[in-house]
């Protein structure tokens, strides 16, 4: 078996098949039904095996469960941490013209990563059902801080941001170790808020909350570095960044310039999945800050928000442009984000999703001569 990084990859989430959507709806309608929950688990198992098969068929060498067992890309993971509870909220997260379901994280006690966190079993299921590299994508450390309103932080010790972030990093360090012991050798942590903090409007929101956005960028890089610095040499860490992804809409915009140095030089991450499908992501010049070496950037020129297929010659031209700022040998290709960051999914069909993944592999073949080149 080859090992990551690969020239072709994807962020993680995939459209939930109808059988899973229907089974999840039945659980929502009958939350106390053990039969409905068992039916959902069975539907997820079948769907994930099919999704793994689809990923292998298109030529990918790293596969995920499509986050098929989750409602949100981040809240499901966060809600299973010790000391953090998800509660009903007055409003959801505001995207461009639409809101997510109304839930929010609250800090109720000392943060920790439990030994029986469900995502460990999620990973093991993928590993048991693939012949290529199993990957799991989880929310990165910054998610716990960024998504938690200060008024929802109960423990007195966490009123100090340094203490709060130190325990977040400690919790994630334990998570990294747990996934490694479960057999994981390719772990992706999605720290999308580096990109959010490049948006003037998002920066102002943080400033209005009394938070220095530049301090947060540095703190988020520190948390990631602390979480992964002692990882075994054969554990590859990826990190995804985007500007929001819900029903094909977005939240933020702005180039990576304010955060690029922290991203590339202070996190210790091996592979960077970076949204680059529209002008909202800014130019490619920040790639110049990627240090020479083994780190790799996967520019997301291929969008997951619409089904229209990008032109291969256009993609090759984009990589020619990117190579002016970063060594072409330190680049790869992945879609700009997941196809279904929440269970609702983007406005794209399963056939279009597959075509996008096929194009990812085709681009890797055309630019580097193969997925494992």
Which pLDDT value is given to residue 174? 98
Q: What's the Rg (C-alpha) of the chain? A: 19
* Domain contains 199: yes
**Total domains in the fold of the chain:** 1
Beta strands 133-134 and 94-95 are: unpaired
* DSSP H/E element including 315: helix 312-322
Q: Where are the alpha helices (DSSP H) in 271-311?
A: none
Q: How far is CA 12 from the centre of its chain?
A: 7
Q: Where are the alpha helices (DSSP H) in 80-199?
A: 118-128, 142-146, 161-181, 193-196
* Domain contains 6: no
DSSP state of 15: P
254, 282 Cβ separation under 8 angstroms: yes
Which pLDDT value is given to residue 136? 97
Termini Cα distance of the chain:
14
Q: Tell me the per-residue pLDDT of 180-216, one tens digit each, with 9 for 90 and over.
A: 999 999 999 999 989 999 999 999 999 999 999 999 9
* Domain contains 5: no
- 254 closest CA partner among 282, 276, 284, 277: 282
* Domain contains 235: yes
Average confidence (pLDDT) over 294-321? 97
Give dist(CA 151, CA 167) in Å, integer. Answer: 18
The strand pairing partners of 186, in sequence order, are: 236
| Domain CATH code at residue 72 | 3.20.20.210
* Domain contains 339: yes
Question: Is residue 245 very low, low, confident or very high in pLDDT (cuts 50, 70, 90)?
Answer: low
Give dist(CA 57, CA 280) in Å, integer. Answer: 32
Q: How far is CA 73 from CA 31, 52, 272, in A?
A: 21, 18, 18
Which pLDDT value is given to residue 247? 55
Question: Is residue 107 very low, low, confident or very high in pLDDT (cuts 50, 70, 90)?
Answer: very high
Biggest distance spanned by C-alpha atoms of the chain: 58
Q: Cα–Cα–Cα angle for 122, 126, 131, nearest 5°?
A: 165
- 335 closest CA partner among 317, 352, 313: 352
Q: Is the pLDDT of residue 94 over 80?
A: no
* Domain contains 373: no
* Domain contains 355: yes
Model pTM score: 0.94
Per the structure, the complete domain to which residue 321 belongs is given by 18-368
* Domain contains 3: no
Which pLDDT value is given to residue 243? 84
């Amino acid at each position: 078996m080859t090992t990551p990084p690969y020239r072709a990859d994807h962020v993680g989430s995939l459209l939930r098949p109808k059988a899973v959507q229907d089974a999840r709806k039945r659980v929502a309608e009958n939350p106390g039904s053990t039969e409905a929950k068992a039916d959902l688990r069975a539907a997820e198992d079948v769907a994930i095996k099919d999704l793994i098969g689809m990923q292998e068929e298109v030529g990918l060498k790293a596969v995920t469960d499509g986050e098929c067992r989750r409602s949100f890309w981040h809240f499901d993971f966060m809600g299973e941490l010790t000391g953090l509870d998800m509660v009903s909220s007055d409003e959801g997260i505001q995207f461009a013209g639409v809101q997510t379901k109304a839930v929010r994280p609250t800090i109720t006690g000392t943060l920790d990563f439990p030994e029986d966190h469900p995502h460990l079993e999620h990973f093991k299921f993928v590993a048991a059902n693939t012949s290529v590299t199993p990957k799991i994508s989880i929310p990165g450390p910054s998610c716990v801080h960024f998504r938690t309103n200060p008024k929802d932080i109960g423990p007195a010790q966490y009123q100090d941001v340094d203490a709060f972030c130190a325990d977040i990093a400690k919790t994630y360090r334990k998570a990294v170790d747990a996934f490694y012991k479960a057999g994981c050798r390719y772990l992706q942590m999605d720290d999308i808020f580096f990109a959010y903090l490049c948006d003037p409007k998002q920066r102002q929101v943080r400033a209005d909350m009394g938070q220095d956005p530049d301090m947060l960028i540095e703190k988020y890089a520190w948390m990631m570095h602390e979480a992964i610095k002692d990882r075994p040499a054969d554990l590859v860490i990826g990190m995804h960044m985007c500007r929001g992804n819900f029903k094909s809409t977005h939240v933020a915009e702005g180039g990576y310039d304010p955060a690029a140095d922290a991203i590339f030089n202070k996190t210790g991450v091996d592979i960077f999945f970076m949204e680059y499908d529209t002008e909202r992501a800014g130019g490619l010049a920040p790639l110049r800050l990627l240090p020479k070496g083994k780190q790799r950037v996967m520019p997301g020129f291929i969008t997951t928000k619409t089904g229209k297929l990008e032109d291969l010659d256009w993609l090759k031209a984009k990589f020619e442009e990117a190579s002016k700022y970063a060594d072409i040998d330190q680049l790869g290709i992945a879609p700009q984000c997941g196809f279904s960051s929440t269970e609702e999914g983007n406005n794209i069909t399963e056939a279009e999703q597959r075509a996008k993944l096929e194009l990812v592999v085709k681009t890797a073949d055309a630019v580097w001569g193969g997925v494992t080149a």
